[in-house]
Amino acid sequence: MSSARDIEAILQRAADGGRITPDEALLLYTEAPFHALGEAADAVRRRRYPDNIVTYIIDRNINYTNVCVTACKFCAFYRPPKHAEGWSHPMEEILRRCGEAVELGATQVMLQGGHHPEYGVEYYEELFSAVKRAYPQLVIHSIGPSEILHMAKVSGVSIEEAISRIKAAGLDSIAGAGAEMLPARPRAAIAPLKESGERWLEVMEIAHGLGVESTATMMMGTGETNAERIEHIRMIRDVQDRTGGFRSFIPWTYQPENNHLKGRTQATSLEYLRLIAVARLFFDNVAHLQASWLTTGKDVGQLSLHMGVDDLGSIMLEENVISSAGARHRSNLHELVRMIRSADRVPAQRDTLYRRIKVHWTPADDPTDERVVSHFSSIALPGGGAGRSLPLVDAR
């Protein structure tokens, strides 16, 4: 049985930048007083970012198909092959959506889709090169290890070759998609047809070795234990020790609608905030920590800024996968900036590499474009909303 003094000592060491063990992280997650935990995590943030800046990005998630053979139980987005509601967008539609995003100041697109049985490496080469040709200013931060494994299998090539080819075609950065829960028991329970957590990390490690960085994510609330949550971040930290290729960690909460898990579990706001703080203390080797206001709500998103978070993620001009499972939290650029400023932080727009594009030092520096609103869910429309433009707010 650990004493309050033990917990205090671990918090102090972590706040000072020392490394904590997975067992110590679990102790903090389950036993540390909430305010002391948040204070220690915020001390780490202040040391890393003494200018007090919290960043955000403007991007668009563009789904090229909802056809998928993997059938994850928590997913409300996919349709099996030959399903009446399955669709794949032509290149013109994808490029049109990229153009809308650029018009609204987006610096990044996330091209995500299902594991379509016919989409091999060649499809992604064509997709990424077409986007780069049309919009060279857009960073393609897209797909995840699951898609890479799938395309390599369809094309009969190695992981190394698949990554090298899509990088040459224009992929800049890999999303942390598909991590969900990395430990074997919870992963098999929610996504039995997906690759193992070890394999997911192996693909990331290969990508990092080939010069493609990525983010790392975690989905909380599908019935995993506290120990499995900590094991998830332990697995990521071990890879990061070897590669340094994860630029941020982004935990989010499972959304319960329209999927086979039916919301039997879910993570509470308190569990989420405690995990955020422990992650900031545990990841001494990951630079950035992003909160998911999209899944937890804006109030919890703002509270997370006091738990070690230095990034509020995205004004997503379009998002479909989490929305289709019930995430209803919307925002606009003004509101996101206000959330950051009223938490006594300095808001700044960033790019994919966390370079600051615009720092809003005072309210006079705040953005004025009223049209930048999140987030349009195009898949609520037949055919995935093909041909439908973003429902922009009139700026007049």
248 located within any domain: yes
DSSP state of 362: S
Residue 184: band (very low, low, confident or very high) from pLDDT cuts 50, 70, 90: very high
How far is Cα 186 from Cα 182, in angstroms, rounded to an integer?
8
| Pairing status of strand 139-142 against strand 173-174 | parallel
Give the residue from 64, 53, 202, 194 showing the smallest Cα distance to 140.
64
43 located within any domain: yes
Instruction: Name the pTM for this structure.
Output: 0.89
pLDDT at residue 197, as a whole number: 97
Place of tokens 């900036």: 337
pLDDT at residue 369, as a whole number: 73
Residue 113 has pLDDT above 70, yes or no: yes
pLDDT at residue 3, as a whole number: 84
Residue 386: band (very low, low, confident or very high) from pLDDT cuts 50, 70, 90: confident
φ, ψ for residue 51, nearest 5 deg? -80, 0
How far is Cα 52 from Cα 250, in angstroms, rounded to an integer?
19
391 located within any domain: no
Q: How many domains does the chain have?
A: 1
131 located within any domain: yes
Q: Distances from the Cα of 40 to the Cαs of 2, 31, 73, 206, 273, in angstroms?
A: 18, 14, 36, 34, 13
Radius of gyration of the chain (CA): 20
Q: What is the mean pLDDT of residues 110-115?
A: 89
Residue 24 has pLDDT above 90, yes or no: yes
393 located within any domain: no
CATH code of the domain covering residue 125:
3.20.20.70
269 vs 379 pLDDT, higher one: 269
How far is Cα 264 from Cα 365, in angstroms, rounded to an integer?
45
244 located within any domain: yes
395 located within any domain: no
Q: What angle do CA 120, 89, 191 make, to 5 degrees?
A: 55
Q: What is the pLDDT of residues 277-305, one digit of tens each?
A: 999 999 999 999 999 887 788 889 899 99
Q: Distances from the Cα of 82 to the Cαs of 67, 116, 378, 379, in angstroms?
A: 8, 11, 20, 17
Residue 325: band (very low, low, confident or very high) from pLDDT cuts 50, 70, 90: very low
Q: Provide the mean pLDDT of the chain.
A: 88
145 located within any domain: yes
Q: What is the mean pLDDT of residues 239-256?
A: 91
Q: Which domain holds residue 58?
A: 4-385
